[in-house]
Structure 1
Amino acid sequence: MSEDYSMTSQDSRVQSMFNRVTRSYDKINSLMTMGRHAQWCREVARRADLTASGRLLDIATGTGEIALAARRRYPGAEIFGVDFSENMLAEAREKPGADSIEWEFADAHQLRFEDESFDAVTHGYLLRNVSDVERVLWEQHRVLKPGGRVVVLETSPPRGVLKLVLSVGMSVVLPLLGQIIAKDREAYTYLKSSTLGFMSPAEVAAVMERVGFRDVDWATKYFGTNVIMWGHKP
């Protein structure tokens, strides 16, 4: 899968949306998860399981929450935070500790990094927002060293007995928060739709295994609406 990638109209719309909601993004994430988002970012960093001098790539770094959590946990590591929203990167660069991280513009569909150049890859809320999930995961597999780990924080469509209640709640609350806090109901209506319409953890795991990851597993969070997934490159 080495052919060049051209950004689709969907990618462009998502990029524009994230450039618009930068200032409110952390606040709404915290409100929607009742403060658990920061804890999940710390868990993602822990599961990356870096050595003292390891190299970590955090894709769709956004405002840098996972990358900065990794910096605090692995002070000697080399950490790259990449995103295709320049506004998000600008916000990340202003946070305490940001000077010790390499922040770069990048499209997750086509990374500039060499094969087998990282010990771990992490990302939060990336897969539901890309036009080609398999290609994005293949790129992550490519840049990982053998034995390297991938750790994913993602939303998960509600299932089971609480499915109706949670779906209705998200359909009402998320656009409303977007309207009140971000002054952008349209963006958070999209985020609601991308969450409710996204793949289940089992479906994501199947794609991860198809591109070559092994020992894929996951833990659901917050009534099953969020999930942390992990695997390794043999």
Structure 2
Amino acid sequence: MGNPFYVPGEGRAAAVDDLFTTVAPKYDLVNDALSLGWHRRWKRRVLRMAQARPGQTALDVCCGTGDIAVGLAREGVAVCGVDFNTAMLRRAQSRLDGIAASVELVRADAQRLPFADGTFDIVTVGYGLRNLARWERGLEEMHRVARPGGRVVVLDFGKPDNRILRRAYFAYMKAVVPAIGWAVCRNAAAYAYILESLNHYPAQNGVAAKMRELGMKDVQVVLLWGGIMSINFGVKAAPVG
């Protein structure tokens, strides 16, 4: 029997929306438990790679509860955070004390971003691309709204190249992660979904290949914990001619 939150095709958006509505109240707590707090360090690594400077503009796609968007705003950047899920946006809104003037939150579909071409200096996504019905379309949209020279940074679960590490990691994701999800928010299926979605996602190597296909420069893959997590980085090239 498949995971109720993993629905192939265009019906996936509604299922993922239901998932995040379910987990939103304890989303950050579960992330801390699953990663032993390391997700915060990984997001700080995203901020460093984004090379944010005061006065720049940034888009954080699938912004969730706002970790990356808030971090960018504290660097003096004007940030727009977009997410499809209203409950997650409410959680993000509650964290904007002192920086509300620098952050705009918008409910939008990452596969159809409501922004003009070449709008942002920085475009980030943390743990979101994998959840889209068409992750390639999401990355295409991120590339489209980045300015020439703009940085695109993707953080998500990876797939270790080392077979022993991969087996151990997938076993942990199958057995331990749903148990933690049940213990903290009484929903094992919502966290079993992570492995289900990862099985259908090409992870760091597929994202890097797509970045190159889009013509991005300086494409990099940063492996965290041996590839259990990964960061993809690319720079939008200037138009030719």
Deviation at 1:98, TM superposition (A): 5.1
Structure 2 counterpart SS, 1:223: helix
Which residue of structure 2 aligns with residue 43 of structure 1? Answer: 45
Residues 199-210 of structure 1 aligned to structure 2 (within 5 Å): 199-210=202-213
Q: Could you tell me which residue of structure 1 aligns to residue 31 of structure 2?
A: 29
Give CA-to-partner distance per residue, 1:165-215, whole Å, 9 cap, x none.
Answer: 221111111111111111111111112222344213122111121123222
In the alignment, which residue of structure 2 is the partner of 1:55? 57
Q: Which residue of 2 aligns with 1:217?
A: 220
- Native 8 Å contact 2:170 2:195 kept in 1: no
After TM superposition, the structure 1 = structure 2 runs for residues 88-127 of structure 1, keeping only pairs within 5 Å, are 88-95=88-95, 96-97=97-98, 99-100=100-101, 101-127=103-129
| Cα distance between partner residues in 2 of 1:111 and 1:203 | 22
Deviation at 1:97, TM superposition (A): 4.2
- Partners of 2:20 and 2:42 in 1: CA distance: 21
Structure 2 unmatched ranges of 5 or more? 1-8
1:118 touches 1:143 (CA, 8 Å); kept in 2?
yes
- Residues 5-40 of structure 1 show CA distances to partners (whole Å, capped at 9, x for unaligned) of xx9201111111111100111111111111111111
The alignment's TM-score, normalised by the length of structure 2, stands at: 0.89
Aligned residue for 2:201, secondary structure, equals: coil
Task: Read off the aligned partner of 1:189 and give its amino acid letter.
Answer: A
Is the contact between residue 92 and residue 98 of structure 1 (CA under 8 Å) also seen in structure 2?
A: no
- Give distance in 2, aligned partners of 1:97 and 1:103: 15
CA distance in 2, matches of 1:66, 1:97: 16
Instruction: Report the equivalent of 1:226.
Output: 229
Q: Which amino acid aligns with 1:155?
A: F
| Partner in structure 2 of residue 191 of structure 1 | 194
Deviations 1:28-72 (A, max 9, x none): 111111111111111111211123200000000000000111122
Do 1:157 and 1:198's aligned partners in 2 also have CA atoms closer than 8 Å?
Answer: no
TM (norm. structure 1) is 0.92
Matches within 5 A, 1:133-172: 133-160=135-162, 161-172=164-175
Residue 153 of structure 1 aligns to a residue in which SS? strand
Cα distance 1:200–1:112, how it changes in 2: closer, same or farther (>3 A)? closer
Q: Secondary structure at the match of 2:29?
A: helix
Count of residue correspondences: 226
User: Which stretch of the first structure deviates more once superposed, 220-229 or 148-157?
Assistant: 220-229
Alignment RMSD: 1.5
Q: Is the 8 A contact 1:33 1:222 kept in 2?
A: no
The structure 1 segments of at least 4 consecutive aligned residues displaced by more than 2 Å after TM superposition are 195-198
Deviations 1:82-112 (A, max 9, x none): 1001000000111144523101101100011
